[in-house]
Structure 1
Amino acid sequence: MNTNSPASIPGSTKYKVLAAVLGAVIPIAVAVLYYFPNVFRIEGAQVKALPAVNAVLNSLTAVLLMAGYYFIRRKDVAKHRAMMGSAFLMGSLFLVSYVAYHSQVPSTKFGGEGLIKTIYYFILITHILLAAVTVALVLFTLYFALTEQFQKHRRIARWTYPIWLYVSVTGVIVYFMISPYYT
């Protein structure tokens, strides 16, 4: 009998439920901040630098994801695990920073016109839609790795990796496209 089966890991069901709840609650919380930006406003909060910090965190996440992919393709599980754990940490820091910023500042309107505006909104909309599912995908991918359900981990990681990478890269692109319009 495998002593590391999901059933033998204390609280594994609890972690699966937690991943599902967080996967739903976090995108809803971000949507609330978008539509009601002044609900959690703190007078005098200094958040002006956070969009640039977010772009750096997204960039680091993307690099770590690619490094993790590189290492797993070479069957270097230890380095893969280190890169993916670091990507998870960077993504988590990004999420905290993103929420902190958007809880204090209303969304910036894009000022470009014509084709660039169409391109911007295409990237932004696909980024937002995929970011909404990324949280749950990442949490379940991590859960399956930690509970040593590697077949399930590989199966979901085939979806998680390209979506998470796309969201990380397009987050940086959106930042560079919108940054001239920050006040």
Structure 2
Amino acid sequence: MNARGAVRAHPRWVTAAISVVGYALVIGTFAGVVPIFPEISRETVLLFSDLIAVINTCALSALLVGYYCIRQGKVRTHRAAMLTAFALIMAFLVVYLWKVGGGFEKRIVIEQGQFLWQYADIVHGAYIAMLAIHILLSVVSVPVVLHAVVLGLTHDPDELPSTSHPTVGKIAVASWTLSLALGVVTYWMLNHMYSWTPMVR
């Protein structure tokens, strides 16, 4: 049995294994116990923040195109769009972890004179709520997205309707879309609408 056949025979185990590795890498980077990312300057952190927003916006666009295409029965275009979205998310993961591991995270600061500064507590609460949902969906969607991708890569298009791919794919699209959209919104709030300060770990 070749590698594709082995993955095809055990998609859930493969999904679980890749998910565990991904979680370990993210948690290790945040905890500072995976020092694999070179230190970067403040300017590079800012550049990476903008790059992450661009990547996420492109990934969201590809995701929506993929969803539209499968609804239209355009399987090949759907596959290309979804794999593009997945590749972009992998790029996001590298840039984001490098920003965290080699640089720093930011904390929002709402200053007098800024948009709705009179309601700073409400705005701050809304920002934290959106960020929390974005992070939660990012975490829980990992195995769902991976499972959909694994099934898509190991089965022929005419086989997929008989697998869990359609159901898992719908869940993946819903969670992934909302997560990416909230990520872009919180990016604009943090970097362009309000001020920020480096977060001490």
Partner letter of residue 152 of structure 1? S
2:14 pairs with one of 18, 38, 48: 18
Q: Could you say if the C-alpha distance between residues 8 and 175 of structure 1 is closer, same or farther in structure 2, counting changes exceeding 3 Å?
A: closer
Deviates more, 1:42-51 or 1:117-126: 42-51
Scaled by the length of structure 1, the TM-score of the pair is 0.85
Q: Partner of 2:143 in structure 1?
A: 136
The CA distance in 2 between the partners of 1:94 and 1:25, in whole Å, is: 16
Name whichever structure is richer in strand by fraction. Answer: 2
1:87 pairs with one of 85, 92, 99: 85
The CA distance in 2 between the partners of 1:172 and 1:94, in whole Å, is: 13
Q: Partner of 2:170 in structure 1?
A: 158
1:4-83 pair list within 5 angstroms? 9-12=4-7, 13=9, 16-36=12-32, 39-40=35-36, 42-44=38-40, 46-83=44-81
The CA distance in 1 between the partners of 2:184 and 2:22, in whole Å, is: 20
What is the identity percentage for the equivalent residue pairs of Structure 1 and Structure 2? Answer: 24
Please list the CA deviations of residues 41-98 of structure 1 after superposition, one character each: whole Å capped at 9, or x if unmatched.
6345544311110000000010001100110000010111111111111111111111
Partner letter of residue 72 of structure 2? R
The CA distance in 2 between the partners of 1:43 and 1:92, in whole Å, is: 20
Q: CA RMSD in A?
A: 2.6
Partner letter of residue 185 of structure 2? I
What's the CA shift for 1:18? Answer: 3.5
Alpha carbons 1:37, 1:103 under 8 Å: kept = no
Structure 2's unaligned 5+ residue stretches are: 111-119
Q: Partner of 1:4 in structure 2?
A: none
Q: Give the greater-gyration-radius structure (CA).
A: 2
Q: Partner of 2:117 in structure 1?
A: none
Alpha carbons 1:38, 1:106 under 8 Å: kept = no
Q: Could you say if the C-alpha distance between residues 97 and 63 of structure 1 is closer, same or farther in structure 2, counting changes exceeding 3 Å?
A: same
Please list the CA deviations of residues 80-137 of structure 1 after superposition, one character each: whole Å capped at 9, or x if unmatched.
1111111111111111111111111222111133111000000011111111122211
Q: Partner of 2:129 in structure 1?
A: 122
Q: Could you say if the C-alpha distance between residues 182 and 86 of structure 1 is closer, same or farther in structure 2, counting changes exceeding 3 Å?
A: farther
Structure 1's unaligned 5+ residue stretches are: 1-6
The CA distance in 2 between the partners of 1:116 and 1:164, in whole Å, is: 24
What's the CA shift for 1:17? Answer: 3.0
- Is 1:178 matched up with 2:190? yes
Scaled by the length of structure 2, the TM-score of the pair is 0.78
Matched residue of 2:95: which SS? Answer: helix
- Is 1:97 matched up with 2:95? yes
Alpha carbons 1:37, 1:106 under 8 Å: kept = no
The CA distance in 1 between the partners of 2:10 and 2:102, in whole Å, is: 33
The CA distance in 2 between the partners of 1:66 and 1:104, in whole Å, is: 32
